[in-house]
Chain A
Amino acid sequence: MTQDVENVVDHLNLFRSPEYKEMFADKRKNFEFAHPDDKIKETAEWTKSWEYRELNFQREALTVNPAKACQPLGAVFVAVGFEGTIPFVHGSQGCVAYYRSHFSRHFKEPSSCVSSSMTEDAAVFGGLNNMIDGLANTHAMYKPKMIAVSTTCMAEVIGDDLNGFISTAREKGSVPADFPVPFAHTPAFVGSHITGYDNALKGIVHYFWEGKERTPNEKINFIGGFDGYTVGNLREVKRIFDLMGVEYTILADNSDVWDTPADGEFRMYDGGTTLDDAKAAINAKATISMQEYCTEKTMAYIAGHGQETVAFNHPVGVAATDKFLMEVSRITGKPIPDALTKERGRLVDAIADSSAHIHGKKFAIYGDPDLCYGLAGFLMELGAEPVHVLSTNGGKAWEIKMQALFDSAPFGKNCHAYAGRDLWHMRSLLNTEPVDFLIGNTYGKYLERDTGTPLIRIGFPVFDRHHHHRYPVWGYQGTMNTLVWVLDKIFDEMDKNTIIPAKTDYSFDIIR
């Protein structure tokens, strides 16, 4: 087949034509010196066994398909959440190309970030000149209101001193003396992107608050944490707070910069926490974090300034949202309005309508520790069983907390949390102890292919489905979205499994 101009086919169909298939077979047979097919089959079967699982879990050094990224990614995520702020990552430039691509692929948005482009000479002599020139260039070109500095592992290994470097750059006139340049050391070999989120946000808060007097007011601060749904979630949280009449400051509000209109103008900066609000946030009566494990140091720092701090674990579901709203209400003294109570009722109604399809279903979940906790809690609320919950960047404390959640209801009875494990471990879990559905990010599609477990895409990054980041997963409405995504997959699977005429289609029901 060559192309037909009236029906041009791309890779999806082109390579299925006989000419290409024959070519592939010929290449393999004559040139690849591949293993025999039966050997491949036999090995593939072996990798599904309990024996393989045990060998796989004995791994001590190798990581395969981890579900985590490195610190500076989280730092960039935070930085773009402030008004007119450009993230500046000190170190090798390739890293910045990666963060920008990564975010653009998830949000389908521009992602602006600069690098100090350190090379071999900087590895030897340090990156001071890169900082001096870099800050000067960035400030001149992109006219930011703030430059938020973080580091790649290169700068960390050679021990560059950000505080000293930035001071020197100021003295050299790279930026005006009073121009805000908060910074955070974000070594990639410690923690993950959520650690970087924490360090960067603490760096910014520290920049504005350190040495300042606090005059308490009635406002609250809100921190979302590293969140692939930040666009939808932060807007939903604002809507909820507005309904309650709560006065608030969202710290690191990147919901606008990653959802700019296509109206003929490129906005390098859009929305974000104003610098004035960031400064004034010291006066708030309390700070709420939606993701405990993403904000540990930041919250400790804030608590040190006399504020009450309350951290959740990515609350999804009725009870988790109830708890969130009641805490907001308690802290602010604002009652939960009827409008939200009604939303709650609608959500409960939806769950009642659909729970028969979810009850007793087995799930595997992976992702950031807070996300895993929130989703597992919601599934248990639906009567489902989160059998395998895996977080590559989760730690011992998370594992214990997950176990306590499992122990809190019968649906958690046979469930396990796996901290520090990767998706190749998950493959063994799914092969040896199969579940009905898998919840995870885009990379879960390889697990879906290998183990036949249908994937529900919730997490970060999601590269291969569009626009889900525009929807919230928090609040009663966000929970409703989550419920619908789970249900859609369940129903799709039912249809898929009952679709062969004269064979399986007696259950191909029109009403479910």
Chain B
Amino acid sequence: MIEVTGLHLRYGGVAALDGVELALRPGEFVALLGASGSGKTTLLRSLAGLEFPDAGQVRIDGRDMAQVPARERGIGFVFQNYALFRHMTVFENIAFGLRIKPRRLRPGRAEIGRRVEELLALVRLPGMGGRYPDQLSGGQRQRVALARALAIEPRVLLLDEPFGALDAKVRKELRHWLRGLHDRLGLTSLFVTHDQDEALELADRVAVMRDGRVVQFDTPEALLAAPADAGVAGFLGDAVPVECEVRGGQAWFAALPPVAVEGVAEGKGIAFLRPVDLLAEPGAGEARVAAARRDGRGVRLTVEAGEVLLEAVPSPGWVPQRGEACRVTVVAARVFPRQDGAGRA
């Protein structure tokens, strides 16, 4: 469907894309996850024909896109700030892609009107066609941008930080709605995000980007279970890096009990510990409750073990008090040999 091979792009001496490899299957919903500056937006724009890579290839349905201008790619693109045409009504925005088609391909007036109404209903904005973009809320603009992109019936939909500018509640709603829409329309979608929850929750597969490269491309489960390197491990699942020493198949910590690890070279290492990897129980032990806070998900517990602060899961039925001593069991850990740059996403 979409194949990217060896894509390179330099901006004034800085490599924005440094050998990107990526292959999407038809119908997939894929997230491009990475910190800002990792090249994810540049990659997305290169796919749409808005950036011109220095080297490498983008193929869509087997066709090399190098000589195909943006307007002929037939890709739906939703911009980060929506880029709605500010002087046009919602209706005119959505109709734009249809109205500018060459005469022989252009649908008639009535047909365009019908299609726009359909799209307005699809994005749940019926009757809003007469409004101007500045009369809409952020979430509504987002959906108009989506309807406008869908009007040209693209097979590929690219979304740049589609939920970035929305408040948390609207964001969650739109996420699930967008996923449903993707499945219903049979699109192949690629969206850029820096929010790992968003990526892990929505996507079939997640491509993690760093320094202009895709460092791992896998399902959310596989990413969490087996991060490719220390960088990915540190970036996902709120993991905290803790120094350790690997000896005899176990990782030894300064102030935590050891945990079994497999296939890691002996010597100094970095263990990435997520809240779900740590079980805290009351009783005399090496750790102490640093903070405990109740919220909608239960108790958020932070323990202090040696010099590190770690989030941990409290054992059932225990109401931790600040300053209370506790025992922490390490259930699992992802351990990598220590090297410079470890822990960076």
Report whether chain A binds chain B: no
Q: Which residues of B contact A (CB under 8 A)?
A: none
Q: Which residues of A contact B (CB under 8 A)?
A: none
